[in-house]
Amino acid sequence: MKFKSPPVNSLSLDFITELCISLEKLENNRECRGVIFTSAVPNIFSSGLDITEMCGKSLEHYAEFWRAVQEMWLRLYGSSMVTVAAVNGSSPAGGCLIALSCDYRIMVQNPKFIIGLNEAQLGIVAPFWFKDTFVNTVGHRVAERSLQLGSLHSASEAHKFGLVDELVPEEKLQEKAAAVMAQWLALPDHARQLTKSMMRKAVLDRLVAHREEDVQNFVNFISKESIQKSLRLYMEMLKKKKS
Ligand code: CO8
């Protein structure tokens, strides 16, 4: 699956809805046993949640958007397919979450590409299920420090502490992703799927049990004037950086 929503593959409500529909179709297709996620936009895997969806909108919109983000994560993290992220560009916040939700992450070795959960830098807080997914991948200590600092890591740094499993030159990415997929698909599906579910179920169940509470928390938090101001300033900073 190639993400193609220029300029930066930001995860808008439309993007997320299309991603969920595509995942559902693949999940229900018995011929499809695995998905490789990558980007068709040069230098960017995904810039994370579309900040404009969280800024200056109605409370109803925030709730609808957040339910869609939850749905995307539940489908990705809970997928019975083999999922491989072929990260061919920067991948902050929600982009990093997509990669973290896969079974395996391969990233292009390019010092310009960054990845991490940088929410704290925007003055917002990564939800508990972002945190759980991160902890399950890199361990508590690394996650605690990285989350508090809102760190964006270079590909090689991310590889050192296990945020990505492997680094490859750009031209080898697709070949490597296909080789990894073949290795994972060589196992019987039922054994791999039950093992995956055993490893991930507790974290998935926690969101399912607290889904509406989590929506309300998000809506209350994001609609605070202080948070709206932080997001506006961050967007201005992104635009200034350009000029
Ligand atoms: N949302 C909306 N617009 C964005 C986003 C985004 N996430 N990222 C970039 N854009 C826009 C820019 O403002 C710019 O717009 P314009 O052309 O109108 O000026 C355009 O996309 C291109 O961006 P850049 O010029 O910055 O492109 P570069 O190639 O130089 O850099 C980067 C690409 C590295 C991706 C850079 O754009 C960047 O750092 N973006 C911000 C990424 C980010 O911080 N995302 C975090 C989103 S929050 C999230 O995902 C989780 C939130 C959890 C919520 C919890 C609340 C309780």
User: What string of DSSP letters covers the chain?
Assistant: -EE--TTTT-B-HHHHHHHHHHHHHHHH-TT--EEEEEESSTEES---B-GGGGSS--HHHHHHHHHHHHHHHHHHHT-SSEEEEEE-EEEETHHHHHHHTSSEEEEE--TT-EEE--GGGGT----HHHHHHHHHHH-HHHHHHHHHHT--EEHHHHHHTTSSSEEE-GGGHHHHHHHHHHHHHTS-HHHHHHHHHHHHHHHHHHHHHTHHHHHHHHHHHHTSHHHHHHHHHHHHHHHHHH-
Atom of ligand 1 nearest to the CA of 118: 44
What is the band of 18 on the pLDDT scale with cuts at 50, 70, 90?
Answer: very high
* Per-residue pLDDT at 107 exceeds 90: yes
Q: If you measure from the C-alpha of residue 212 to the centroid of ligand 1, how many angstroms do you get, rounded to a whole number?
A: 27
What is the band of 171 on the pLDDT scale with cuts at 50, 70, 90?
Answer: very high
Percentage of the chain lying above the pLDDT 70 cut = 99
What is the band of 59 on the pLDDT scale with cuts at 50, 70, 90?
Answer: very high
Give ipTM to 2 decimals. Answer: 0.98
Catalytic residue among 88, 116, 119, 122: 119
Q: What is the mean pLDDT of the chain?
A: 97
* pLDDT given for residue 243 in this prediction: 67
Catalytic residue among 49, 76, 97, 147: 49
Q: If you measure from the C-alpha of residue 116 to the centroid of ligand 1, how many angstroms do you get, rounded to a whole number?
A: 13
Does domain 2-172+188-242 bear CATH number 3.40.50.620?
A: no
Catalytic (active site) residue 217: no
Domain boundaries, the chain: 2-172+188-242
